[in-house]
Amino acid sequence: MKLLVATWGKIHLFQDEIKKFDGFSIETYPLDGVTATVESGTELDKRITATRLVTLGVFSLAAKKSRGGEWWMTIEGPEFAWADKVDRKKIDKAKKFAVRVQTVAKQHTAKQAALASSVAASALASGGDGTDVQDWQRTAESMRTAARDYDGAKLREYVIDLAARLEALPQRRL
């Protein structure tokens, strides 16, 4: 079960992903490269970003611009962009949520880097000189174990795929 870290309306932040509940649909994305900001409508209008293009499509250039008194939270990742209007009374809470998203996303990235280092260390510590297929099979098993101990779905899939490829090498000296 995933640990819920924080919520903002329909947006739920978990340790390794962010979800947006919209009616019967749920959008789920990993935290890799996710950023969050709270800015005034004036600041938002000064830049046409991926957020605006994704949110409004080709109409983003012709869309009515916000007035300076409006505030917006934007949450962007490599595969998505969300914009949510913020009530003036909730600006401080929105900013705290945005900071929380930034912090958890950075922690997630650091955790992935640590896992990658762990996998590399496991490969070196698995014994042998790396030229024997059995050495590669031990390395593959170490990688699978490290991936099981980590929550990041994309990295886990990559490591498991790499381990399977190493294991599939012919049973001979390289």
pLDDT in tens, 54-87: 555 555 555 555 555 789 999 999 889 998 999 9
Q: How far apart are CA 138 and CA 174, in angstroms?
A: 15
pLDDT tier, 174 (very low <50, low <70, confident <90, very high otherwise): very low
Per-residue pLDDT at 69: 77
Task: Name the residue among 15, 14, 18 with its Cα closest to residue 112.
Answer: 15
pLDDT band at 127; cut points 50, 70, 90: low
Q: What residues are paired with 35 via a beta bridge?
A: 76
Q: Using a CB cutoff of 8 Å and minimum separation of 24, what contacts does 158-163 make?
A: 159/115, 159/119, 163/139
Query: How much is the pTM?
Result: 0.61
Cα–Cα nearest to 11, from 55, 59, 73:
73
Q: Residue 83: CB partners within 8 Å, gap ≥ 6? A: 44, 51, 52, 55, 72, 73, 74
Q: For 76-122, how does the pLDDT look when each residue is reduced to its tens digit (9 = 90+)?
A: 998 899 989 999 899 999 999 999 999 999 988 888 777 766 666 66
pLDDT at position 92 is: 94
Q: Of 39-43, 129-133, 140-144, where does the model show the most confidence?
A: 39-43
- Per-residue pLDDT at 40: 84
Instruction: Tell me which residue has tokens 């007035």.
Output: 67
Q: Which residues contact 117 (CB under 8 A, 6 or more apart)?
A: none
pLDDT at 28: 94
47: exposed, middle or buried (Cβ count in 10 Å: 0-12, 13-18, 19+)? exposed
Q: Is 92 helix (H, G, I), strand (E, B) or coil?
A: helix
Dihedral sign from CA coordinates of 92, 93, 97, 98:
negative
